[in-house]
Structure 1
Amino acid sequence: MKGGLIAAIAATFSWSLLYLLPNLIGEYSTFDLAVVSYAFAGLGSLGVLARFRRQLTTLTLGDWLTVGLLGFLGYIGYFFLITSAVIAAGPVIPPVMLGCVPIVLAIAGNLRSQAIPWRSIAAPLLLGALGIMMVNASSFERADGQASQPAAMVLVGILISLLAIGFWTAFGLLNERALSTRPGMDPLLWSALLILTCSIEMAAFLPVGLYLKLSSFVSHGGALKGTSAVLFCGLVQGLGATLGGAWAWSIATRSIPLALGGQLIASETLYATTFGLLIQHRWPSPLEALGTATLFLGVTVAIRQFYRADQRRRQGSS
């Protein structure tokens, strides 16, 4: 279980880089960064698959279809849903709603597996939800005075955000099931397959991004500042946050219950908040500080409760 905890924490830390790197790419857009990062991630995945070339011959069509679906749900489709939600409802409401993903995933995971009694997980879930709400409430405070979106567009953005929450929850549940039915599958091989299909899907979705005018590189004719930065950040995001994060999450999925893994995803908010404060060169507001402390307490209590439950199972089976 300890190895799974370390892997989950590594995965959430790598994913939190997705909040930091877009601030370092000059005039390029998040979409431009995503395209570059998936190009590097795809190349890295090919390198990994070369190591497992013998195992590739044993893969079935079902394996490829499964990783293709998972890649769409958890990565490419999820990315475009978030982007569309922000376009429709503005930059505040969708991220706040998507902060509920760890809580929803933890509840869905425990509903399916009953890994721990609800009375044991209720407190950390409530603490986590409260902490996320308090941290994200600062977004509304900073948004005061900014132009608001039309009510109809905000509603569309909210609906798209709910769909995005459903996408990642489905990814978490289906990925756990896929790995459990493939006990001989190496987590690194599985992650490389997943990210390779993501890279292919990103290439297929390029016209969608161009249609939505998400690429600053295309819109401005290619003469943008920050080319070296976007290439470096794309390398870090592609190999670290994307391929590396998928690998760490695959290890965690094999080792700890999804109900705990979902709760640990909440720690991503801790890292992202820290990165945001560093970028803005400021101390946290009282609400941010209280929310971060509450969220940290929730994650700590969750780990403690699951560890105790694991110890009781071990003693009962001995």
Structure 2
Amino acid sequence: MFIGTLFALAAGLMWGLVFVAPLMLPDYPAAMLSFSRYLAFGVIALPLAWLDRQRLSQLTRADWIEALKLSMVGNVLYYLCLAAAIQRAGGPLPTMIIGTLPVVIAICSNLRNADRDGRLPWARLAPSLLVIGLGIVLVNQVEIEQLRADRNADVPRYALGALLAVGALVCWTWYPIRNADWLRAHPDRSPRTWATAQGIATLPLAVIGFVGFWAWNAGSRSSFPMPLGPTPVLFVGLMFAIGLLASWLGTLCWNEASQRLPTTLAGQLIVFETLSALAYAFLLRGQGPAPATLAGIVCLVAGVAWALRARPEPLAAEGHAT
């Protein structure tokens, strides 16, 4: 349990970096950020795949199809929604919406994996949900007040950002549950190999997406300079940094955690990602959070900590022969 929690913490610290890139590259379309990030991830995975080729060769066709599904939803689509949300609504609100993942995953796992992992008591989850909801309201209130104070603010754009963040939430609710299902069903397989397999599966998706975006950019006569945009050195450096740290190494750490922890507990530890992302966002702004935002963050942490106190209870055996 302790080692699994440390792996989850390491994954959260690295995953928090993905919230920084859209803020540092505001002129880059979200589609380009998503496809480029995973293009870098796929390129990084190639030499790793060569070193791990013996174990990768043991994966079946069904395993590769599963890796492709996980890569499409948990990588490309998730980051497309998240990057677009951050560029439209800023860093704090999308981060807080994604921060509900621990309890959302716990609820979904409660409904889906109770036979395997046990069931968390609903009565103990309900208070944490209310506290987390209060935290999101507080952060949203601060961001709305800042929008109202800005005469040039685009409220519909902010609302669209919040909606896109919900889309990212859906993608990343599905991904860790499905990923944990595969890892728990294959305890003999290496989490490192599975992380590399997802990188290899992501590469063709990223290539197709990047080329498609380039063609669309040319066809629409956009002024955006392809293929590397207006700040190529910063862009390439950030893409490879998050491709290595957040995509491959972060996935590796999360796979290690997923093999050691119940899905309901592992899902709640994604709060480390939220806290890291918020810290990075405010460091980038060069200012600390407003009191209400800080109170919202405290509510989020308190709600997740409250939920962590609940332990899965095995379901009573049914249908015993007499």
Give the TM bin, normalised by the shorter chain.
0.7 to 0.9
Q: Secondary structure at the match of 1:300?
A: helix
In 2, Cα distance between equivalents of 1:254 and 1:292 = 29
**1:20-60 deviation digits (Å, cap 9, x = unpaired):** 23334485455444444323321221222222211222211
Tell me the residue number matched to 1:236. Answer: 241
Tell me the residue number matched to 1:91. Answer: 89
Tell me the residue number matched to 2:316. Answer: none
Q: Aligned pair in 2 of structure 1 residues 124, 95: CA closer, same or farther (>3 Å)?
A: closer
Q: Secondary structure at the match of 2:89?
A: coil
What are structure 2's unaligned runs of at least 5 residues?
A: 314-322
- Larger displacement relative to structure 2 (267-276 or 91-100): 91-100
- Larger displacement relative to structure 2 (107-116 or 295-304): 295-304
In 2, Cα distance between equivalents of 1:209 and 1:70 = 22
1:1-318 matches, cutoff 5 A: 1-25=1-25, 28-82=28-82, 90-91=88-89, 97-114=97-114, 115=118, 116-144=120-148, 145=151, 146-149=153-156, 158=163, 162-210=166-214, 219-220=224-225, 225-306=230-311
**1:116-144 deviation digits (Å, cap 9, x = unpaired):** 32333333343333334433443222222
**1:257-285 deviation digits (Å, cap 9, x = unpaired):** 22222222233222222112211121211
Tell me the residue number matched to 1:315. Answer: none
In 2, Cα distance between equivalents of 1:191 and 1:65 = 14
In 2, Cα distance between equivalents of 1:17 and 1:285 = 22
Tell me the residue number matched to 2:319. Answer: none
**CA shift at 1:7, angstroms?**
1.3
**1:3-25 deviation digits (Å, cap 9, x = unpaired):** 11111121122111011233344
1:15 touches 1:245 (CA, 8 Å); kept in 2? yes
Question: What letter is aligned with 2:296?
Answer: G
- Larger displacement relative to structure 2 (202-211 or 244-253): 202-211
Q: Aligned pair in 2 of structure 1 residues 291, 155: CA closer, same or farther (>3 Å)?
A: closer
In 1, Cα distance between equivalents of 2:307 and 2:33 = 34
2:100 touches 2:132 (CA, 8 Å); kept in 1? no
- Larger displacement relative to structure 2 (114-123 or 21-30): 21-30
- Larger displacement relative to structure 2 (13-22 or 294-303): 294-303
In 2, Cα distance between equivalents of 1:45 and 1:122 = 41
2:98 touches 2:274 (CA, 8 Å); kept in 1? no
2:30 touches 2:83 (CA, 8 Å); kept in 1? no
- Larger displacement relative to structure 2 (219-228 or 242-251): 219-228
Question: What letter is aligned with 2:5?
Answer: L
Q: Aligned pair in 2 of structure 1 residues 265, 134: CA closer, same or farther (>3 Å)?
A: farther
In 1, Cα distance between equivalents of 2:268 and 2:300 = 10
| TM-score normalised over the length of structure 1 | 0.81
In 2, Cα distance between equivalents of 1:18 and 1:203 = 20
Tell me the residue number matched to 1:316. Answer: none
In 1, Cα distance between equivalents of 2:161 and 2:242 = 29
What are structure 1's unaligned runs of at least 5 residues?
A: 311-318
Q: Secondary structure at the match of 1:69?
A: helix
Q: Secondary structure at the match of 1:282?
A: coil
* Equivalent residues, number: 303
Q: Secondary structure at the match of 2:155?
A: coil
In 2, Cα distance between equivalents of 1:166 and 1:95 = 14
Q: Secondary structure at the match of 2:183?
A: helix
**CA shift at 1:238, angstroms?**
0.4
- Larger displacement relative to structure 2 (183-192 or 199-208): 199-208
Question: What letter is aligned with 2:123?
Answer: R
Question: What letter is aligned with 1:131?
Answer: G
Q: Secondary structure at the match of 1:49?
A: helix
Question: What letter is aligned with 1:173?
Answer: I
**CA shift at 1:245, angstroms?**
1.2
